[in-house]
Amino acid sequence: MTAQSNHIPSESDLIKGCIDADPQMQRLLYDRFSSMMYAVCLRYSENTEDANDVLQEGFIKVYKSLHKFRAEGSFEGWIRRIFINTSIEHYRKKVKLYHVTEVQENTIEDDSLDALDSLAAKDIMNIINELSPGYKQVFNMHVIEGYSHKEIADMLGITEGTSKSQLARAKGVLKKIIETRVENSKKSR
C-alpha cells in the first residue's frame, strides 16, 4: 500500500497513514487534492504567490488536524473548508475587510452572470480575480461554495447585511466586467 506500488489506497487508509505521519501517504493525499485546493486558493487569494502560501499552510493544517476528522461529511468538503478558512485568515493578516455601509441587496439578477456559462473555467477565474478581495470572498463563498449569508458573516466576522451588500456589489462589478469584455470582443470583430 505505498505510492510506489501503484495501488490506490482508500480514503480511510490515506487518513490513517497521514495520522501515522507516513511520508508516502502524505504525498498521496497531496497528489489527490492539491490541484483542486490550489484552484480554491487561487479563487480566494489576490495573487498566485498568496495562493501558493495558502496551499502550503492549508496542507500543513490538514495533516495536523486529520485526527479531528469524524467522517460526518465528505472528506473533500472537510479539506475544502480548511483551505477556505486558511485563505480567509491569510487575507485577514494582510488587509482588513473593507468597511462597507449596509445597503439593500442590489437586485442584480443572477441572469446577468449567465454570460459566464459560455466561458471556460480558467477565463471565469480570471474574471472573478478582477474583483476586490472583499467582494471575491463573499462571492466565492455564497455563489460557488453555497454558504448562507449567516455562515459567511460568522466566518468573516461581519454582519449578514454586510455580506449581502458585498455580494450585491460584487455582482454589479462582475456584470460591468462582462459587459466591457463583450463590447471589446464586438469591437475587435
Partner 1 sequence: MQDFKNKLYNYETPPPEETWDHIAEELQNEKVINLHTHKKSKFLFYGATAAASVVIIFVGSLFFKKNKESKSTANIVSTHELLAEKIKDSINLNQKILESIIHNPQEKKEIISKNPTQNTSKKYLTVANPEGQPVKISPKVATLIISADNEFPPRPVWNKKINKWQKIMLASTISPTSVNFIDLIQLAANSENIE
Write out the residues near partner 1 by the rule CB under 8 A: 21, 23, 26-27, 30, 34-36, 38-39, 42-43, 52, 55-56, 59-60, 63-64, 110, 113-114, 116-117, 119-122, 124-125, 128, 140, 143-145
| Residue 21 falls in which region: left (phi positive, over 0), alpha (psi -120 to 50) or beta | left
Q: Which is nearer to partner 1, 63 or 78 (CB)?
A: 63
Alpha-carbon gap, residue 138 to 154, rounded angstroms: 12
Task: Copy the grid coordinates of residue 1.
Answer: 500500500
Residue 102 C-beta: closest distance to partner 1, Å: 26
Task: Copy the grid coordinates of residue 48.
Answer: 498566485
Alpha-carbon gap, residue 151 to 142, rounded angstroms: 9
Q: Which is nearer to partner 1, 116 or 177 (CB)?
A: 116
Angle at 33 between CA 69 and CA 124, to 5 degrees: 120
Residue 181 C-beta: closest distance to partner 1, Å: 14
Q: Which is nearer to partner 1, 72 or 117 (CB)?
A: 117
Residue 124 C-beta: closest distance to partner 1, Å: 5
Task: Copy the grid coordinates of residue 85.
Answer: 478558512
Q: Which is nearer to partner 1, 30 or 100 (CB)?
A: 30
